[in-house]
Structures are given as C-alpha cells and as structure tokens.
Amino acid sequence: MGKTISGFSKLSKSEKIDWIVDTYFSNTTDAKQVLKQYWHTDGKLQQLHDEFIENTISNYYLPLGVAPNFLINGKMHTIPMAIEESSVVAAASKSAKFWLDRGGFKAEVISTKKVGQVHFMFHGEFDVLERFFNTVTSKLIEDAKSLTENMEKRGGGILDIELRNKTEDLKGYYQLHASFETLNAMGANFINSCLEQFATTFKREALNFEGFSDEERHIEIVMSILSNYVPECLVKVEVSCPVEDLTENKNISAQEFANKFVQAIKIAEVEPFRAVTHNKGIMNGIDAVVLATGNDFRAVEAGVHAYASRNGRYSSLSHAEINDDVFRFWMEIPLALGTVGGLTGLHPLVKLSLELLHKPSAKELMQIVAVAGLAQNFAALRSLITTGIQQGHMKMHLMNILNQFEANDAEKLTLTEHFKTNTVTHVAVVAALNKLRK
C-alpha cells in the first residue's frame, strides 16, 4: 500500500530509493540491486543522467542498434535506432538493402515553418480588436528583439504574427498565431519565450489603446505555448522502380506484389482501424531515430497523428501507385526536429548518433528520420501481403522467449537452428526447450 510523502524532491538519491523500496517492495535488497545495477560506474556520467530529469533513481536502458545500407539522395547512411521492439531494426535494414539496388530513397524538405500561439479572451467588438492588433504588431516584434537577435543572425526568427478569431468555436476566444523559423534547433524554448513576450506586450499595450472601452482594454491572456502540430514543417520521401523489379519472393509475381501493395495502402487510406496500425509501423522507424538523436518523440507522434487526421478522418500517412509500369511509394509528414540544443550536446550516445549520421543539419535529419519511417512501412507491408507479419516478427522474438526461460548459450544455439525451419510460437518454443532439457 502506497503512502504520501512531503519533501521527496529534497531527499538525496539514496534516501529516495530507501523510501521507495521500503514502501513498495517486499524484497528491498533485490529492488535496490536492480536499480543500482543500471547506474553508470563513471560517476560523472551518472551525475549527467541524474540531472536530465527530477527525482532520478536509476537509468532505463533501451537497445541502440543500427540499420546500414540506406542510400538517401545519393549519400550512404547507417541509421541509429533506439527501440525495444523485436524486428524493427532488422526490417529497416532489409528495406534499405532492397532499395539500395533500386536507386535508393529520395527525400525533400518542403518547409520548416513552426507555430506558436498566444491564447486570449476578449469580449468586445472584433473590428476594434483588429485595429488594435494592426497598431501593435510591430511593437510585438520589437519587444522580442533581445530574444530573436541571435536566431536572426543565423537566418531564422519570427516569420509572421496573425490575429485569429475563434469565437465561433468558443465565446470570446482569440489567438495570436505566430510562425517561426528555428533552423537547426527544434526551437521549443525559443518559441515559448517569444510567445510569452508577445503576451506581455499585447496586454500592456491594450491598457493604453484609446479605441478600447474600459472593459475591453483588460484582455485576459490564458496561455502562451508552441504547437506540436506543424503542418508546414514538412518532409517528403519516396522510392520507385519498374514493377518488374519489385519482388524477390518466388511465391508471388512482381505485378501481383505491386497490386496487393497498392491495395493494402488504399485500405489504410479509408479504414481508420487499419490506418492506426499502419501508421504505428511507420512510427516504429521514426521514433527509434528521433529517440537515438535526442529529439522529442512525443511531440513528433502528436504532430504526425494530427496530420494523419487533417482531412477530418484518420488515414494512412503513406501512399502508393502504379503508373506506366512504374511502382511509386511515398510519404509526406511533419517533423519538427533539432540537431542543436536539448540533449543533442549533452547525451554521449546522442552525440555519437549524430556523428554517425555525418553531423546532419535539422533539414537533413528530417529527411533521414522520414526515410526510416517509409522503410519500416515498406517492410511491414511486404510481410503482410506475402508471408504474413508473424513469421519474421516471431523469429526475431525468439530470443526474448528464450531469455525469459533463462536458456543458456548452447540451448539458444540449438533452438535458433531448430526454428529456422519451424514456426515460432511461445508454446512451441517452451515445448522445444523442455524437450531439450530432458
């Protein structure tokens, strides 16, 4: 049974752990051992990790793998992927190798515009508010100069500020809708700081605007925050080849493979139950690279799934067609990423991952991440329309089952060989392991 505690954040790391294990665990020795075995032996490195977040008690490890052989815009890449799900890295690698011999992946950044909003309430006449906004816009930008100066020197900054009337959705609700260019930074802190300054200036200047009545001049600022929906921060990726070059599977013709692939995409375009799983597969590739490069995968997920619903119904992010006997598979998605700031300069493995990717700019990273998603989607669909998804997935999951039952190296070797020609299921693996042990 849990209990409340006051001043937990002020306890030392050891005191926090003592309280947790004494309160929640029957075997305090084992619990402490598990937590401590994931600490870094390098005290300086451990302190760095402890200071990433609050109330740190241990490190939570995910495997960091690599998927080689990605040809993107004529340049070779080995892509780092941090993920726990069996078969993701293998599937991405297989797709990379497949398309390497067919011209590779083409990627293009369409736009890098990001968005933030000041949400406020106003209960006067809109035309008066609009007149005030037109007089104060230059002041909003001027007051934010101390924040934007360095970004502007690098070619970024505030792109635009609009007044948006949202009173049809909510009585008295308006926005300052601002767009930004943040270059190689994801830009969350920069954008939020600018928005808060806009809000301060907007509210202050309203008090002195002669066009407002006494009631109107007291504008209520509700909040100022960036949006993780970035429909104009877009990257497009695609692959294509003659239909006759499409398949390596002897059980299905190239034309049948192409037709079934396009049909599978069309199903994901019209059926939300399928689209969610379809897009989740894309995000397997995207999230793994976003995480490995120290970016915010929760923000990316939220923005991407909102984009998938932009036409009023949740739909596939990827598309495919056959035109003049040429197969084309493509995707256009929003990705707000950074290669400077945040963890990119702090986490040693993030720095290593970015160096592995040739120290990309934010635009280059957008392309690489999107390619990983498209590759993952191709691999999943290829399995689904040929062998079925479980054959490959369960073979990759075999080691997890063997580790669950503490198989030794000899048992793993024997059973890995056995299941090269036998179907992997949890029941089958347990039965084979028990038979081997007898």
Instruction: Check if 406 is active-site.
Output: no
Residue 426: alpha-carbon gap to chain centroid:
31
User: What residues are paired with 106 via a beta bridge?
Assistant: 238
Out of 143, 296, 395, 397, the active site residue is 296
Dist. CA 50–CA 13, nearest whole Å: 9
Say if CB 261 and CB 381 are below 8 A apart.
Answer: yes
Cβ neighbours around 209 below 10 Å, total? 16
Please give the backbone phi and psi of residue 95, each rounded to the nearest 5 degrees, phi first. Answer: -65, -40
DSSP summary character for residue 224:
E
* Residue 408: strand pairing partners: none
From CA 171, how far away is CA 215, in angstroms rounded? Answer: 16
Q: Is 393 designated active site?
A: yes
The C-alpha atoms of residue 1 and residue 108 are separated, in whole angstroms, by 54
Active-site residue identified among 280, 305, 351, 412 = 280
CA 30 to chain CA centroid, Å, is 35
In eight-state DSSP terms, residue 79 is E
Q: Which of 77, 363, 393, 395 is catalytic?
A: 393
Whether 85 sits among the annotated catalytic residues: the reply is: yes
Strands 234-242 and 326-334: antiparallel
Catalytic residue selected from 18, 85, 301, 321? 85
Known catalytic residue at 296: yes
| Structural tokens at position 254 | 């190239």
Task: Give dist(CA 429, CA 402) in Å, integer.
Answer: 8
Q: What whole-number distance in Å separates Cα of residue 374 and Cα of residue 281?
A: 9
User: Concatenated DSSP letters for 393-410?
Assistant: HHHHHHHHHHHHTT--HH
| Active centre residues (catalytic) | 85, 280, 296, 393
